[in-house]
Amino acid sequence: MEINGVYYHVEKIGDGAHHVLMLHGFTGNGRSFEDVIEGFENREDYTFILVDQLGHGKTDAPAHHERYKMEKMLVDLKSILDRLSISSVSIYGYSMGGRVALSFAVAYPELVSKLVLESASPGLEKLEDRSARKEADEKLAERIEKDGVKSFVDFWTDIPLFQSQKSLPAVKQESIYKQRLNNSPVGLANSLRGLGTGVQPSNWSYLDKIECPVLLAAGEWDEKFVLIAQEMKKRIEKSGFFKINSAGHAIHVEQPRKFGKIVSEFLSNLFMLGRK
């Protein structure tokens, strides 16, 4: 669909009353969530909205990185929901998509009924940390532009964050690899420049203002994001943290059925979250 001058690829799965907007991570696309959706109980109750985020998959990749800024992404998502006549939505975001999901909940709290944040952060609190990350992301962006998507994906697949995926079946690893290749150098580079962790506004100071229930999750092997999620739980009143066994950064890929069941139970009010 055409949104604010940009084509967005949006797919709907199911026709249930409970709408779930699903936001993928960097180098992914909306179809990244197919396996975790299979783990949902009572799938007929849901309509899953899979969005290829700007610069990813089949969505347009604008030439200027300013178009990828968080505030513009949030307006785009609001416009997508308006186009679909959705006034209340649960949002499930993974990694980069989790940062977008959290930012959307801060900007449009009246639209978000529940939030699922998988391996996500509220950004970086300290200016010096943001500056260092911005510089690192710029180097990655230049590498993508210079060497192309395949060279970058080969590098990206081997970073420590994704080492636990090496134990996945070969057919699944190949599927993830092909999905990552299905991106443009302009889209990935500008996503880093416009939507990277170093340039997005920090949301740490807004966590105690979030009123909707929030499910926080990180894989047991992803120590950095376990610590981030635990700290977020302290600041979000209606929140709970799940550390998923035998998983690294991409829980929805490494333990899709197990995590799909947890998410669906949360969205179906089968358990409550909050400070003990």
Domain range 2-267, its CATH number among 3.40.50.720, 3.40.50.1820, 3.40.640.10, 3.60.15.30 = 3.40.50.1820
- Collapsing DSSP to helix, strand or coil, 184 comes out as coil
Q: Measure the CA–CA gap between 129 and 262, rounded to whole angstroms.
A: 33
Instruction: Please state the pTM of the whole predicted model.
Output: 0.96
Tokens describing residue 76: 């785009």
Counted residue by residue, the chain has a size of 276
- pLDDT tens-digit series, residues 95-150: 999 999 999 999 999 999 999 999 999 999 999 999 999 999 999 999 999 999 99
Specify the DSSP element, H or E, that contains 143. Answer: helix 127-147
Q: Measure the CA–CA gap between 40 and 37, rounded to whole angstroms.
A: 5
Q: Give me the mean pLDDT over the 75-83 stretch.
A: 99
- pLDDT tens-digit series, residues 255-274: 999 999 999 999 998 666 65
For the chain, the domains span 2-267
